Amino acid sequence: MVEDQSRLADLRVGISLLWRVALRYRGVAAMSIVGALIWMAMVILVPYLVGSVIDLVVGRAEMSDIWPVLGLMVIAGAIQAVGISLRRYYGFKMSYRAEADLRNNIFTHIQRLAFSFHDVTSTGELMARASSDLSQLRLILAMAPITSANLVMFVVVAIVLIIIDPVLGLTASLMVPALLFTSARFASKVVGFSFDLQQRLSELSHVVEETVSGIEVVKSYGQEAQQQARLDDKAETIYDAAMGMAKQRAIYRPFFEIIPALGTVAVLALGGVRVVDGAITFGEFVSFTQYLAVMVLPLLITGWFFANLPRSAAAASRIDALLETAPDIREPEHPVRLKPGHGEVVFDDVSFAYPDGTTVLHNVDLRIPGGSSVGLVGATGSGKSTIAHLIPRFYDVTSGSITLDGVDVRDLALDDLRSEVSVVFQESYLFSASIEENIRVGDPMASDKRIRSAARLAKAHEFICGFDDGYATVVGERGSTLSGGQRQRVSLARGVVRDPRVLILDDATSSVDAIVEAEIQEALRQVMAGRTTVIIAHRTSTLALVDNVAFIEDGHVVAFGPHHELLEEVPRYAAVLATGAEVDA
C-alpha cells in the first residue's frame, strides 16, 4: 500500500519533470509534433485513396480516371516523408538536447554537493543518475511527439471507420485496445526480465573481475576448477533469465501478427457480407484492410510507450531528487575579505556531529600559531581527520567556530578560503591528464615557472624530468603510471603551487613503505618551512618534523605540545605511538 503510494508519488514527480523539460524545449517539440501530425494525416489519407482506386476499378472506370488518384497518392507519400523527417529530427533534437542539458546540470550539481553528501552516496549511484536514468528519460521524451500523434490517429481512424460502416468500424477498432494492451503487457514483462538479466550479467562479470584480479591466488592454489564452476553457475542463471525473457517473447510476439490478421478476417467476413449486401463499396472494404495494416506499428509503439512511462517517470523522479538536494556547504551571503596574516588557525569550542547524529568532536579548543606546524595524533576514529577537514570547510562545525587569521571560515568566500588552505589527501588522487595539468589543478593561473618551482619544492622535479615526456607525461587512470611515492609528491606539488597559508596533510604517508616515506620526508620538510601545516601522521619520523603535536582521544584534544615533551609527559601518547611503531613478536 505504502509502496504503491510512493510509486504514485514518483510517477507524479517524474511526469512533472518530464513535462517541465518538454516545455523548456517547446519550440523544437512543437516542430516534431507538427511533423507527426502531417505524417498522421497522410497515413490516414493513403488507404482512403487505395479504396478509391479499387472502387474506380470495380466501377469499370478508365485508366485516365485512375492515374490522377495515383498521382495524388505519390504526392501524399512525399508529404508524409516530410512529416516523418520533421517528426524524427526534431524529436531527436529535443530529447538529446534535454538529455545533454540535464546531464550538465547533474554534473555541475554533483560538483557542488558537499563531502557529507559524497560520504554516503556511491559513485555507481551517481553514475546511474547521469547515464542510465537519463537515457530512460530521453527515450520517453523522444517518443512523446509520435505517441501524441498516434493517439490522435487512433481516434481519427476509428471515427473514419465507423463513419464508413458502424458495425464493421466498431469491430475493426477492437484491434486498437487489443494490440495496445498486448504490446504494453509484453513491454512491461520484458522490462522486468531484462532488469533481471542485467543483474545476472553483472554478477557474472564480478566473477570474471575477481578471477582476473585475483589470478595469482587462483593459480597459487590451483583452484581454476573452482572458479570455472562459479562462472558456469552464473552462466546457467543467465540462461534461465534469458529463457524467461524468451518465453515472454514466444507468448506475446506472435500476437502482434495474429491480432491484425484477426482484424483482417473480421473485415473479410463482416465486410464481405456487407459488400454483398451493398452496404459498403468494395473499395471501402479494401480501405479497411489497409487501415488495419498501417495501424499495427503505431499501436505496438504506443503500447511500448505506456509500458515504459512508469520506469521513465521513476528515473526522472530520481534525477529530480538529486537536483533538489541542496549543498550543505554554502557561500556566505556577504563574504568578508581575508585579512593579511601568516595563517593562524583557531578552534574555539568546536563540536561536530555527522548528520546521523554521531558526535565526533567535543568542545575542541586549539590554537595553531601562524607559520607553525602541528601533528594530529590519535587512534582510528578519534576525530583527527575531522579536525583537519573542518578548516577548509569540507564540513561545517555543529557549534563553536574556526577562524583563519581572525576571520570565521564561514564568512569567507569558499574560493578565498580554499585557495589559502590546501589539502593533500591520504589517497593521492590524480586526474587522467598530464602531470603539469594535475599540478595546475592547484592554481589554474600558475605560470610554468611556478609549476616547476612547486614541483622542486615537493621533490618531484627530478623524477618528472626523468620521464621521456617530462611534465607532459600523462598519468593513467587514477595516476597508475606513477609509483605511490611519486603520486604523493605530485599531489604535494599540487597542494603548494598556490603557496597557501595553511597546508593540510591528511595521513598522506600512511600507505607507502619506509623507503618511499624517506623519499617524501625531505619534501615535507621543505614545504612545511614557514607555513602553517596540519599533518596527520603515525610515524615518529614525521612527528619529529613538527613544532607541536595535538594528541586526540575520543573527540577531545587531551594534550598539546612538542613531540618529545608529550612522549615524556603523556604515557597514553607514548603507548599509542609504540603500538604503531614496533610490534614485538
Partner 1 sequence: MKYMGSAGDYRVDRPGRLVTRAARLAPDLKWQFIGAIAVASVATLVRLVGPLIIRGGIDDGITEGDKRTIIVAAAIYVGLLVVQYFASAAAQWSVAIVGERYLVRLRSVVFGRLLRLDMGFYSRSKSGVLVSRMTSDIESLQEFASDGAVLALTNLLTVVGVAFALVLVDWQMAFTVFAVVFVLAGVTVLFQRQARRAYDQVREQIGSVLATLQEGITGVRVVQAFTQEDAQASTFGRVNERYFEANMAAARAISWYFPVVAFLRIIALAAALGIGASRVLNGTMTIGTLVAFLLYLDWFFQPIINLSNVYNLLQSALAAIAKLFELMDEKVVVDDKQGAFDLSEPVSGSVALETVSFSYEPNTMVLDAVSVIVGAGERVAIVGETGSGKSTIAKLIMRFYDPESGVVAIDGNDLRDITERSRTGALALIPQDGFLFAGTLRDNIAYADPGAPDEAVWNVLRAMGIDHWVRSLPEGLDTEVRERGGRFSAGERQLVALARAFLSDPSIIVLDEATSNLDPETEIQVEGALRVLLAGRTSVVIAHRLRSAERADRVIMVDGGRIIAEGTHSELVESSPRYKELVEVWQRGAK
Q: Of 248 and 317, which CB lies nearer to partner 1 in the complex structure?
A: 248
Q: CB–CB of 85/35 below 8 Å?
A: yes
Unique residue bearing C-alpha cell 606539488: 493
Distance of closest approach, residue 529 Cβ to partner 1, in angstroms: 20
Determine which residue in the list 6, 96, 355, 406 makes contact with partner 1, applying CB under 8 A.
Answer: 96
CA 325 – CA 114 distance, rounded (Å): 10
Burial class (CB in 10 A: 0-12, 13-18, 19+), 257: exposed
Q: Following CA atoms 77, 81, 87, 92 in sequence, which dihedral angle do they give, to the nearest 10 degrees? A: 150
Distance of closest approach, residue 241 Cβ to partner 1, in angstroms: 9
The b-or-e profile of 43-69 (16+ CB within 10 A means b, else e) is bbbbbbbbbbbbbbeeeeeeeeeeeee
Q: Of 104 and 358, which CB lies nearer to partner 1 in the complex structure?
A: 104
The helix (H) or strand (E) run that includes residue 534 is: strand 532-536
DSSP code for 434: B
Determine which residue in the list 8, 258, 465, 529 makes contact with partner 1, applying CB under 8 A.
Answer: 258
Contact segment (CB under 8 A) with partner 1 among 143-151, 163-171, 239-247, 550-558 equals 239-247
Q: Does position 380 bind partner 1 by CB under 8 A?
A: yes
Distance of closest approach, residue 570 Cβ to partner 1, in angstroms: 17
Q: CB–CB of 454/495 below 8 Å?
A: no
Contact segment (CB under 8 A) with partner 1 among 20-28, 99-107, 179-187, 527-535 equals 99-107
Q: Does position 441 bind partner 1 by CB under 8 A?
A: yes
Q: Of 405 and 506, which CB lies nearer to partner 1 in the complex structure?
A: 506
Distance of closest approach, residue 374 Cβ to partner 1, in angstroms: 19
Name the region of 240 (left: φ>0; alpha: ψ -120 to 50; beta: rest): alpha
Contact segment (CB under 8 A) with partner 1 among 169-177, 345-353, 442-450, 464-472 equals 442-450
Q: Of 4 and 216, which CB lies nearer to partner 1 in the complex structure?
A: 216
DSSP assignment of 325-373, as one string? PPPSS---SSPBPPPP-S--EEEEEEEEE-TTS-EEEEEEEEEE-TT-E
Residues 111-140 contacting partner 1, CB under 8 A:
111-115, 118, 123, 126-127, 130-131
Distance of closest approach, residue 372 Cβ to partner 1, in angstroms: 22
Bridge partners (DSSP) listed for residue 404: 345, 407
Q: Does position 255 bind partner 1 by CB under 8 A?
A: yes
Q: Does position 377 bind partner 1 by CB under 8 A?
A: no
Site string for partner 1, 444-483 (x = CB under 8 A): x---------------------------------x----x
Q: Of 132 and 359, which CB lies nearer to partner 1 in the complex structure?
A: 132
Main-chain dihedrals φ then ψ at residue 362, nearest 5 degrees: -120, 115
DSSP assignment of 120-160, as one string? HS-HHHHHHIIIIIHHHHHHHHHHHHHHHHHHHHHHHHHHH
CA 360 – CA 375 distance, rounded (Å): 18
Main-chain dihedrals φ then ψ at residue 278, nearest 5 degrees: 80, 15
Distance of closest approach, residue 568 Cβ to partner 1, in angstroms: 16
Q: CB–CB of 410/399 below 8 Å?
A: no
Contact segment (CB under 8 A) with partner 1 among 173-181, 221-229, 315-323, 562-570 equals 221-229
Distance between the two ends of the chain, CA-based, in angstroms? 61
Q: CB–CB of 102/133 below 8 Å?
A: no
Q: Of 13 and 37, which CB lies nearer to partner 1 in the complex structure?
A: 37
Contact segment (CB under 8 A) with partner 1 among 350-358, 417-425, 522-530, 545-553 equals 417-425
Distance of closest approach, residue 8 Cβ to partner 1, in angstroms: 31
Q: Of 224 and 365, which CB lies nearer to partner 1 in the complex structure?
A: 224
Q: Of 23 and 515, which CB lies nearer to partner 1 in the complex structure?
A: 515
Distance of closest approach, residue 496 Cβ to partner 1, in angstroms: 12
Residues 563-582 contacting partner 1, CB under 8 A:
576, 579-582
Residue 203 has which C-alpha cell?
554478477
Residues 6+ apart with CB under 8 A from 407: 336, 338, 339
Distance of closest approach, residue 191 Cβ to partner 1, in angstroms: 14
CA 366 – CA 379 distance, rounded (Å): 18
Q: Does position 250 bind partner 1 by CB under 8 A?
A: yes
Contact segment (CB under 8 A) with partner 1 among 77-85, 153-161, 352-360, 545-553 equals 77-85
Q: CB–CB of 320/371 below 8 Å?
A: no
Main-chain dihedrals φ then ψ at residue 410, nearest 5 degrees: -75, -10
Determine which residue in the list 9, 19, 20, 107 makes contact with partner 1, applying CB under 8 A.
Answer: 107
Residues 271-290 contacting partner 1, CB under 8 A:
272-273, 275-276, 282, 285-286, 289-290
Residues 179-208 contacting partner 1, CB under 8 A:
201, 204-208
CA 370 – CA 294 distance, rounded (Å): 80
Site string for partner 1, 32-71 (x = CB under 8 A): --------------x---x--xx-xxx-x--x--xx--x-
Residues 6+ apart with CB under 8 A from 428: 479, 484, 487, 488, 490, 491, 508
Q: Does position 522 bind partner 1 by CB under 8 A?
A: no
The site for partner 1, by CB under 8 A, has a size of 152
Q: Does position 247 bind partner 1 by CB under 8 A?
A: yes
Distance of closest approach, residue 3 Cβ to partner 1, in angstroms: 24
Distance of closest approach, residue 1 Cβ to partner 1, in angstroms: 30
Q: Does position 220 bind partner 1 by CB under 8 A?
A: yes
Residue 220 has which C-alpha cell?
597459487
Q: Does position 353 bind partner 1 by CB under 8 A?
A: no
